[in-house]
Structure 1
Amino acid sequence: MNWLLVGASTVAQEWIISAIRAINDEVTCIVSTDLVRAQNFARQQSIPNFSHDLKHALYSNKVDAVYISSTNSLHAEQAIIALKAQKHVMCEKPMALSITDAQQMIEQAKIHQVVLAVNYHLRNSAVIQKMRELIASDCIGEVQNIRFCHAVSLPKNLQNWRIDTPSEGGVILDITVHDIDTLRFLLDDEPISVSAMAQTGLISPNNVPETVMGTIEFTKGTLVSFYDSFTAQYFQTSIDIIGSKGNLQALNTLTQHSTGELHLNNDKGSQAIPIEHRNLYISSFQQFKNAIQDQGRPVATAYDGLRSLEIALAIQQAIENKMHISLTSGESLCF
């Protein structure tokens, strides 16, 4: 397949282009609102075409699929343009900034009979997939509580719009949406309530949330505490899952890299679980390609993207209104 990239982003440069090429597809065009940036990016990444006009690029190049990694506020508009052009779309999270926009994206994908997916790459982590397998096999019994720590030190080159523009969502729409999707995947369950508090002022000049702590309650009774941050120096991410017969501890797996370790603790002591790591992004794009060929479904569907957005917006509401928010499991919320 031939791919058009929307957004001359760091993630596209460091991870996506190589993943697309690894599955024997080609990147044929890059689109950025900044034409000079697009030109420089195309030259550096050996991409034959570049443009600042998405509609023109879609219709003047042989394009089968579009990957979107622009700023959050542009995702929905750009995705809808691509979907209306009957192109398959892989969109970075969050898929939109409102439920209405996300629903419109899903509707356009249905109308034009193309595949729409959201790039929740953590589902491909071999550690997280092993944890899901162990939970499903009743290895640790009924899951009671989870402590989810997804805190990082945001590099200077990635701070810009993520901490400057409140509407972009700060840490909540950058990291917490990943937590929500990963938790839904791990538990095969839906959140029913959330509460949270946020912190700002360390790196953001405009009171954009930099750190958030909160709780999520799931339908089957699991209670989750989560800690997400842009300002955690020298911190190692972790997931602790506490069950009625044992617990699982994952370290350094909430990352773009194929890394992490997993331990099972129960009445037999502590056991390291063998893990066979693989590239998370290659897995995402291979399954997306398979879905286009009617050979399965994407790693994270558009519905998964909608659900993670709904819960993230509920967390924003909980912070803003200083209140506990109840959700309707599996159904769209109205904001």
Structure 2
Amino acid sequence: MAMRKAKNTLHAGLSPAEPLTVAVDALDGFGWGLIGASTIAREYMVDAIRRSGGRPLNVMSHDGARAAAFARDLDIADSCSDLDALLADRRICAVYISSTNTQHRHQVLAAAAAGKHVLCDKPLATRAADALKMVRACEKAGVVLAVNHHLRSSPVHQTMQRMIAAGEIGVVRSLMIVHAGYLRPVLQSWRVKDAAEGGIYLDLSVHDIDLATFLLEQAPVTVVALGAGVALGSNTVHDHAMYALKMSGGTFVQVHESFVTPDVESQVVALGSEGALIAAGTLAQRSTGTLTRRVNGRNESIPLRANDLYADTVEQFLDAIAGTGSPRATGRDGLAAIAGAEAVGRAAATGRAVAVKRHE
């Protein structure tokens, strides 16, 4: 079996089953189970798993016909509608969970009890209290828990993070994020129909809060917010929001999110005491966008090399399993993002400033 190549550096429950320990040179052919026959799995993650040397062996959906069609279309040998059956497969070392948000808690806990490493799509759970239980269960079981916050894998965002940490624009006073667009028809289902799934806050806010935390290396402390169901949502499921965070290091973060505003190019702008970093078109599922540094009234384009965001996420997950690295976003990172999003939702509902609860 061939050794999995190291990734390129980016440019300037029950007693748990024994988790599988994998040597770096055995990660090619690594067996995966897919929990959820989702759009993101179909369009991105199966390919990312294969590009990283893994083998998707089985896909599970509560709708057996959907699972069978997914397996057929993506050339996966097995499909099922029973979670226990998938987790009982000894060939499967890790699972990728991309079911609806409300199912994540049960599925992650079951995977941990079965000794499977877990890469879970965001949000990790629908409540921070549940996410904390999931994190602790995986820690107790000795399995890696990672969250698919793929924006951390963007070469633009990674470069921004390094430049901010190096003080290249001085002390960052403010960060602004515009993450808006029109939700594709294929996605206009539970995201905007079922209040239990969290609406825009558990779809976009978790991403943007996690990105702000990653870029600034600070945690959200307080939030004020406005939110509404403008077109696709309702009074209880918001599709449009604006909010501001005060971070632990004193930086202010301003965020605009929307499912109902087409033709918007995303922006992430860091404003420092000695300049600014401006990222445009980076809040996407592919490696896109540009980065500009503005200092002394002059703009400088920062050269970058594109990557596969999801393959990078998978490779970091595999490195963590092998003991040679850490996930791009850990379970505790996912927990922190949910706590922030919960506070945003409460602030929008009450019209008051809300403190972000810390979970240890």
TM-score range, shorter chain: over 0.9
Residues of 1 paired with 2:315 and 2:349: CA distance?
39
Q: Tell me which amino acid in the other structure corresponds to 1:10.
A: T
Q: 3-state DSSP class of the match of 2:313?
A: helix
Contact in 1 for aligned 2:87/2:111 (Cα 8 Å): yes
Structure 1 residue 108: deviation in Å? 1.3
Other-structure match for 1:235? 264
Residues of 2 paired with 1:212 and 1:289: CA distance?
35
Contact in 1 for aligned 2:132/2:359 (Cα 8 Å): no
Q: 3-state DSSP class of the match of 2:88?
A: helix
Q: Any idea what the Cα deviations from partners look like across 1:101-132, whole Å, max 9, x if unmatched? A: 11111121122111011110100100001111
Other-structure match for 1:250? 279
Structure 1 residue 62: deviation in Å? 1.7
Q: Where do residues 294-333 of structure 1 align in structure 2 (5 Å cutoff)?
A: 294-327=323-356, 331-332=358-359
Contact in 1 for aligned 2:291/2:302 (Cα 8 Å): yes
Q: Any idea what the Cα deviations from partners look like across 1:249-297, whole Å, max 9, x if unmatched? A: 1000011111110111111611111011101001100010010010011
Q: Any idea what the Cα deviations from partners look like across 1:80-115, whole Å, max 9, x if unmatched? A: 111100000000111011122111111211221110
Other-structure match for 2:9? none
Q: Residue 186 in 1 paired to residue 221 in 2?
A: no
Contact in 2 for aligned 1:7/1:68 (Cα 8 Å): yes
Residues of 2 paired with 1:204 and 1:171: CA distance?
9
Q: Any idea what the Cα deviations from partners look like across 1:36-72, whole Å, max 9, x if unmatched? A: 0001000001110101100112114521000000000
Q: Where do residues 138-217 of structure 1 align in structure 2 (5 Å cutoff)?
A: 138-204=167-233, 207-217=236-246
Residues of 1 paired with 2:218 and 2:243: CA distance?
18
Contact in 1 for aligned 2:156/2:289 (Cα 8 Å): yes
Q: Residue 77 in 1 paired to residue 116 in 2?
A: no
TM-score under structure 1 normalisation? 0.96
Structure 1 residue 207: deviation in Å? 4.0
Contact in 1 for aligned 2:170/2:273 (Cα 8 Å): yes
Structure 1 residue 192: deviation in Å? 1.1
Structure 1 residue 189: deviation in Å? 0.8
Residues of 2 paired with 1:200 and 1:66: CA distance?
34
Contact in 1 for aligned 2:228/2:235 (Cα 8 Å): no
Other-structure match for 2:298? 269
Other-structure match for 1:40? 69
TM-score under structure 2 normalisation? 0.90
Q: Residue 137 in 1 paired to residue 155 in 2?
A: no
Other-structure match for 2:53? 24
Structure 1 residue 204: deviation in Å? 2.4
Other-structure match for 1:62? 91
Other-structure match for 1:281? 310
Other-structure match for 2:41? 12
Q: Tell me which amino acid in the other structure corresponds to 1:130.
A: T
Contact in 2 for aligned 1:288/1:297 (Cα 8 Å): yes
Residues of 2 paired with 1:219 and 1:99: CA distance?
19
Q: 3-state DSSP class of the match of 2:338?
A: helix
Which runs of 5 or more residues in structure 1 are unaligned? none
Q: 3-state DSSP class of the match of 1:127?
A: helix
Call closer, same or farther: CA 1:220–1:60 in 2, change over 3 Å.
closer
Q: Any idea what the Cα deviations from partners look like across 1:217-245, whole Å, max 9, x if unmatched? A: 01221111100110111110001111110
Other-structure match for 1:99? 128
Contact in 2 for aligned 1:165/1:206 (Cα 8 Å): no
CA RMSD of aligned residues (A): 1.2
Residues of 1 paired with 2:296 and 2:233: CA distance?
46
Superposed structure 1 runs of 4+ greater than 4 Å apart = none
Residues of 2 paired with 1:276 and 1:234: CA distance?
25
Residues of 2 paired with 1:156 and 1:103: CA distance?
33
Q: Tell me which amino acid in the other structure corresponds to 1:25.
A: G
Contact in 1 for aligned 2:230/2:260 (Cα 8 Å): no
Structure 1 residue 205: deviation in Å? 5.4
Q: Where do residues 89-128 of structure 1 align in structure 2 (5 Å cutoff)?
A: 89-128=118-157
Structure 1 residue 326: deviation in Å? 2.2
Residues of 2 paired with 1:191 and 1:205: CA distance?
27
Other-structure match for 1:86? 115
Residues of 2 paired with 1:145 and 1:226: CA distance?
11
Q: 3-state DSSP class of the match of 2:203?
A: helix
